[in-house]
Amino acid sequence: MSQQLLPTATPKRTRQAVWELLRLDRGFAVVAFLVLLAATGVGLATAPLLGRIVDLVVERSPVGAITLPVVLLVIAAIAQGVLMGVGTNFVAQVGERMLARLRERFVERALRLPLEQVERAGSGDLTARVSDDVTVIAEAVRNALPALSRSLLTIVLTLGGIAVLDWRFLVAALLAVPIQLHTVRWYARNAGPMYARQRIAVGAQQHQLLDTIGAGKTVRAFRLADDHIDRVRGKSQIAVDVALTAAKLWTKFYGRLNLAEFVGLAAVLTAGFLLVRDGDVSVGTATAAALYFHGLFNPINVALALVDDAQAAMASLARLVGVAETPPPAEPEKPAVPADASVTASGVHHAYHEGEEVLHGIDLDIRPGERVALVGASGAGKTTLAKLIAGIHSPSSGTIRIGGAPLEDLGPAGISQSVVLVTQEVHVFAGPLADDLRLASPDATEADLTEALDRVGALAWVRALPDGLDTVVGEGGHRLTAAQAQQLALARLILADPPIVILDEATAEAGSAGARVLEGATVAALAGRSALIVAHRLTQAMAADRVVVLDDGRVVESGTHTELVAAGGHYATLWQAWSDTRQNV
């Protein structure tokens, strides 16, 4: 199984994409920057004002003289609070708007990706991008971005302040930089793989717990408890070990930053000593330089620790941009229009992988309004044929026509207007039940929805839900049973109202008693449409207009149920096993 992940953007392309997103908010971003700059500047006034109070006391000024610097301190505090509040709010707004634009573009493209490509990438790839990567970026925008911009501004302005005192203080302070750069590079090199290992370990642990706890009944029945406790212990221990190794790494990171702090501080103090000795600066200036440098400890630690988050966010961005920039599938310039609801497959061969052909020349006609049941063992190619007709894959050779028009000429939009595929994979979309149904038909009135539900026999239980049609269902909402979810899928089908329907195992998972309810619903949903039904229960085949038996990628029998039973072939044997009335010995 060759896995081919979805595209990832190059670092250059990612930066460009970020820039393009930012450009739309350029003016706002500049204002945000200036306000933050002003806030940081005002903040730096606190230290000299406190110094001024000390000076006034030393100079034995009258008691009232300290009122002015205190008032200034209060003003500075209020100004800094207001400016910082406004500035971070602006930064957050710019960030959030960029994020919203990015995720919307991503989802738009992701939903239009050809299913074939999504399946080749493995179902987890797209899901991981849409949940994990978007979360990583959102976290970065919400937490890292404001903290990083504040810290960087403080660092830059403080270094500027040190330089104003005397440029030689700045040189001394910068002695810490090589150690910091080296530390960050060392950390980034090790932290990436370390966090990847941690994610894998935590993921494996989570999987194991779901595996074990979700199957508690099976574990007890087969008396596998000890084995499973060992499995949980093993996976959990690995996660613990990786977390502790990661802790070693980041504690070392902070240790090295402490070293940089000491080197810088010692250098500034030594510079102060030399400059004061030579009479170049006053003791007060040397004090200010040392205190300024001490004030840098926190912002530097914050900024450097965020390098990590920034890296993770860039990697996630690259994955989002990669998908967001995938060109949408091409629609034919002049889409063909099907003449009727017929389906014709002629000479269809298909291989998922070179040399492993699963369909060997299928010829199949479905007349408008005809219901054809497809019967055969697993691996006979039933699902593949269904997918080819629904346009999810293109046959390796041969043509499939809908109403006389080849699938390629219809284009993705044309195919989905004509053919609806209902698979065994039922999904209830999170949100009000009415919204779920309206995916199939956005303009449906409540009466339409009620009618569709009634036809599939779901109206009674929908009415009994706490808020009827407005009940929130799906993930995080009211949980529907498998059979209810399938009834919902059939109601969507009625609302979408396509001329042609392909049903693949749509009643398979509900259990045999539930299956019967669904068969009734299916009959109602198929009324008036051409249908290809991948049949599991032979009762489905019995009810169809025609039965086509598939064996090893070939059509081996075709005819009505009665004809095939009478013919005494493949199908007849099967039917015999089903309806067998022999007495047991």
Partner 1 sequence: MTTHAATEKQITGRQVLRGAISGQRGHVSFAALGFSAHQAGEAVVPVLIGVVIDQAIGADGSGRLFLWLGILAAVFAVLSYSYRFGARAAERAAEQAAHHIRLGLAARVLDPRGGAESGRLPGELASLATGDAQRVGAFNRALPYGIAAVAGVVVTAVALLRESVPLGLLVLLGTPPLLWLAHLLGRPLERRSEAERDRAANASGVAADLVSGLRVLKGLGAERVAVDRYRKTSQESLAATVRSARAKSVHDGGMLALNGIFLAIVALVGGRLAAEGSISIGALVAAVGLAQFLLGPLTNLSWVNSEYAQARASATRIASVLSAPPAVQPGTEKFDGPVRGEVALRGVSHAGLKDIDLHAAPGELLGVVAPDPAIAVALLECLGRDVDPVTGTVEVDAVALSSLEFGEARGALLIAAHDADLFEGSLIGNVTSNGDGAERALAAAGADEVARALPEGVDTVLTERGRSLSGGQRQRVALARALAADPPVLVLHDPTTAVDAVTEAGIAEGLREIRRGKTTIVVTTSPALLSVADRVVVIEDGKVSAQGSHGKLAAEHAGYRTAVLT
CB nearer to partner 1: give 10 or 127: 127
DSSP secondary structure string for all residues of 431-475:
EEHHHHHHTT-TT--HHHHHHHHHHTT-HHHHHHSTTGGG-EEST
- Shortest Å distance, C-beta 142 to partner 1: 7
d(CA 429, CA 473): 7
CB nearer to partner 1: give 284 or 528: 284
CB nearer to partner 1: give 511 or 568: 511
Q: Which residues contact 26 (CB under 8 A, 6 or more apart)?
A: none
DSSP secondary structure string for all residues of 79-127:
HHHHHHHHHHHHHHHHHHHHHHHHHHHHHHHHHHS-HHHHHHH-HHHHH
Query: What does each C-alpha distance from 219 to 55, 203, 204 come to in angstroms?
Result: 77, 21, 19
Tokens found for residue 437:
């149904």
d(CA 457, CA 477): 22
Note whether 268 and 169 are within 8 A (CB): yes
- Shortest Å distance, C-beta 279 to partner 1: 11
CB nearer to partner 1: give 11 or 552: 552
- Shortest Å distance, C-beta 171 to partner 1: 17
- Shortest Å distance, C-beta 364 to partner 1: 19
CB nearer to partner 1: give 78 or 346: 78
List the one residue out of 416, 395, 414 whose CA is nearest residue 334: 414
Phi-psi sector, 466: left (phi>0), alpha (psi -120 to 50), beta: alpha
CB nearer to partner 1: give 15 or 508: 508
CB nearer to partner 1: give 167 or 578: 578
CB nearer to partner 1: give 52 or 349: 52
List the one residue out of 118, 1, 127, 129 whose CA is nearest residue 392: 118
- Shortest Å distance, C-beta 398 to partner 1: 22
CB nearer to partner 1: give 264 or 395: 264
CB nearer to partner 1: give 143 or 397: 143
List the one residue out of 541, 576, 579 whose CA is nearest residue 561: 541
Alpha helices in 113-175 (DSSP H): 115-121, 123-128, 134-139, 145-165, 167-173
DSSP secondary structure string for all residues of 342-411:
-EEEEEEEEEEETTEEEEEEEEEEE-TT-EEEEE--TTSSHHHHHHHHTTSS--SEEEEEETTEEHHHHH
- Shortest Å distance, C-beta 199 to partner 1: 13
CB nearer to partner 1: give 371 or 436: 436
- Shortest Å distance, C-beta 468 to partner 1: 20
d(CA 246, CA 202): 13
- Shortest Å distance, C-beta 181 to partner 1: 19
Q: Which residues contact 584 (CB under 8 A, 6 or more apart)?
A: none
- Shortest Å distance, C-beta 12 to partner 1: 26
Q: Which residues contact 359 (CB under 8 A, 6 or more apart)?
A: 348, 349, 350, 381, 384, 385, 388, 395, 553
- Shortest Å distance, C-beta 402 to partner 1: 13
- Shortest Å distance, C-beta 554 to partner 1: 15
Q: Which residues contact 506 (CB under 8 A, 6 or more apart)?
A: 422, 423, 424, 486, 489, 490, 518, 522
The identity of residue 96, as a single letter, is E
- Shortest Å distance, C-beta 347 to partner 1: 25
d(CA 381, CA 329): 27
CB nearer to partner 1: give 460 or 512: 512
